[in-house]
Structure 1
Amino acid sequence: MFNGYPAAYILNRWFALNPIGGHDFAGNPFNFQVWQLITYQFMHGGFGHIFFNMFALWMFGAEVEYILGSKKFLIFYLFSGITAGLLHLFISPLLGSPLAVTIGASGAVFGVMTAFAMLFPDRYIFLYFLIPVKAKYLIGFLIVFEFLAIDSAASNVAHLAHLGGALFGFLFILFDKSNPVEFRNLFKKSFYYKKRTPPDFGSYTYGSRNDDDVQEAKFYDLNKKDDEETITQEEIDAILDKISKYGYQKLTEREKRILFEASKKMK
């Protein structure tokens, strides 16, 4: 007991995420502090609460950390929890949810789960250790469930915090260009985005050209002495890049001969 209050009450008052405004069950005003956006993530309501959060963090977080690196993963994890706390803090009162302190790492864990689903969408997760379900479907279903359960205030679960963590995880991975995420390509128009493929020298076009820009390729005699030079792949790549930028007609005679010789060798 501290000044007549239980230790749990003191810990919640200073380290759990307190609402802004309102009064607690003891009649005291809630004590919101900025640092609580971090400290609440390390508090839990019992063994089962912390066990399942840490099990999910281990299950999904290990590979996400391997991709991001330990330092970036720590930042990502903490800010997932901060975003979860902010969304719950400001949106829950608008939906008429009762004011109460919030604890737990579930929001940050949802951010990690969302990141896993984006980085490894087709990885199988064995539900109940028996039923194989792809990560994108299982985690996607959990997020949809959280969205549908927002109004269930009696469940004593901060569903908005879960959604806040998932939202941050989605945006972080989406805009972190150091990671190859196929989902990112859905936001690019197909005629602006093309994957570069090895060229077919027989028929290959770059962009759109006017008919006036088209020139007929000349035939070169490969028996000429000046053609007997070593041609490297770097030279061919540089020529192809030049074609993509300026067109075939901008090539020098030597570059055209190199391209023609490479084409003959491939055939």
Structure 2
Amino acid sequence: MNIIDDLKVQYKLGGIAQKMIYWNIGCFLISLVFFYQFKVGAFDFPNWIALSSEPAVFLLKPWTFLSYAFFHDGFFHLFFNMMVLNFASSLFLTFFSPKQYLGLYILSAIFAGLIFALGFNLMHLSGAVVGASAAIMAILVAVTTYSPLMNVRLLLIGNVKLWHITAVILILDLMQFRVENSGGHISHLAGAFFGFVFIKLLQNGIDLSKIVSAVLDFFANRFKKPSTPFKKVHKNYKKPVEKSTSRIVVKDKKQQQIDEILDKISQSGYDSLNKEEKEFLFQAGK
């Protein structure tokens, strides 16, 4: 099994948070090929990917209110964001469902994009923004709002309250608001605000993530392959008993082996599998 197959298996077995990290990394690799200016050492994102503050641009390209949240302006920008995303995601998914996670990521990115565009126009500024920071801040603030006193163990520091970590990140954003990357900090704070509102509404019985779930389900059903029409079987027809039993036995044995491998992953992680187990799991997932 090569590294590509190994990554495919990890993607299939991974949860929504791992898939989101894969999407961000994948988009960054694409941007390295198509949008990186090697002569000047900088990214040059087109206005159909980055979110522009110009109404004449974003009104014609409304998808940029989401696409910008999957691209990053440099390796360290991506690395830091994915570290925080992995941290915040593991905490968020302790309390909430993957659908709520995906809904919060998408809605907070759109909301933060709208606030960025509005803020820049009010300040008579022009620019563009990329990065998942706003959506990540929404996830972090959401779980902090829900469980602010949760203990988190940090390397070299020890146990701290979750709200302490979130407060430090927010204060750093506020301190840099007028120094550099004002557009980025506007979107960060907007994402944080949305995460707070998301949880408060959820605690009052309003789940905003259902909007995203309904839209995704709509498109999934539109592109879903039609089911095979039911074929009536003559009631006097009897399936060969021997063949039917044989198929069931093979299926149970294969499923049992898959279950044993998945149990091993849950206990010791994917890296604990040997080469034969990884190969078997990859073939079973085809």
- TM bucket, shorter chain: 0.5 to 0.7
Native 8 Å contact 2:51 2:58 kept in 1: no
Native 8 Å contact 2:173 2:188 kept in 1: yes
Native 8 Å contact 2:53 2:116 kept in 1: no
| TM-score of the two chains, using structure 1 as the length reference | 0.55
From the superposition, tell whether residues 14 and 174 of structure 1 become closer, same or farther in structure 2 (CA, over 3 Å).
same
**Alpha-carbon deviation of 1:125?**
3.4
Please state if 1:121 is matched with 2:155. Answer: no
Please state if 1:101 is matched with 2:132. Answer: no
More off after superposition, 122-131 vs 84-93: 122-131
- Which one of the candidate residues 91, 104, 129 is aligned to 1:76? 104
**Alpha-carbon deviation of 1:148?**
3.9
Native 8 Å contact 1:42 1:104 kept in 2: yes
Please state if 1:20 is matched with 2:54. Answer: yes
Which amino acid counterpart does residue 75 of structure 1 have in structure 2?
Answer: G
More off after superposition, 55-64 vs 130-139: 130-139
Percent identical residues: 27
Native 8 Å contact 1:16 1:36 kept in 2: yes
- Map of 1:150 onto structure 2: 177
**Alpha-carbon deviation of 1:119?**
2.3
Native 8 Å contact 1:13 1:31 kept in 2: no
Structure with the bigger RCO (C-alpha within 8 Å, sep 6+) is 2
| TM-score of the two chains, using structure 2 as the length reference | 0.52
Native 8 Å contact 2:128 2:183 kept in 1: no
From the superposition, tell whether residues 49 and 10 of structure 1 become closer, same or farther in structure 2 (CA, over 3 Å).
closer
Unaligned segments of structure 1, at least 5 residues? 1-5, 23-28, 180-267
- Map of 1:165 onto structure 2: 191
- Map of 2:265 onto structure 1: none
From the superposition, tell whether residues 134 and 157 of structure 1 become closer, same or farther in structure 2 (CA, over 3 Å).
farther
Unaligned segments of structure 2, at least 5 residues? 1-32, 36-42, 206-286
Deviations 1:187-219 (A, max 9, x none): xxxxxxxxxxxxxxxxxxxxxxxxxxxxxxxxx
**Alpha-carbon deviation of 1:11?**
4.5
Task: Report the aligned-residue RMSD.
Answer: 2.7
From the superposition, tell whether residues 174 and 129 of structure 1 become closer, same or farther in structure 2 (CA, over 3 Å).
farther
- Which one of the candidate residues 95, 108, 112 is aligned to 2:139? 112
From the superposition, tell whether residues 111 and 55 of structure 1 become closer, same or farther in structure 2 (CA, over 3 Å).
same
Which amino acid counterpart does residue 189 of structure 2 have in structure 1?
Answer: L
Which amino acid counterpart does residue 81 of structure 1 have in structure 2?
Answer: A
From the superposition, tell whether residues 158 and 139 of structure 1 become closer, same or farther in structure 2 (CA, over 3 Å).
same
Aligned residues: 166
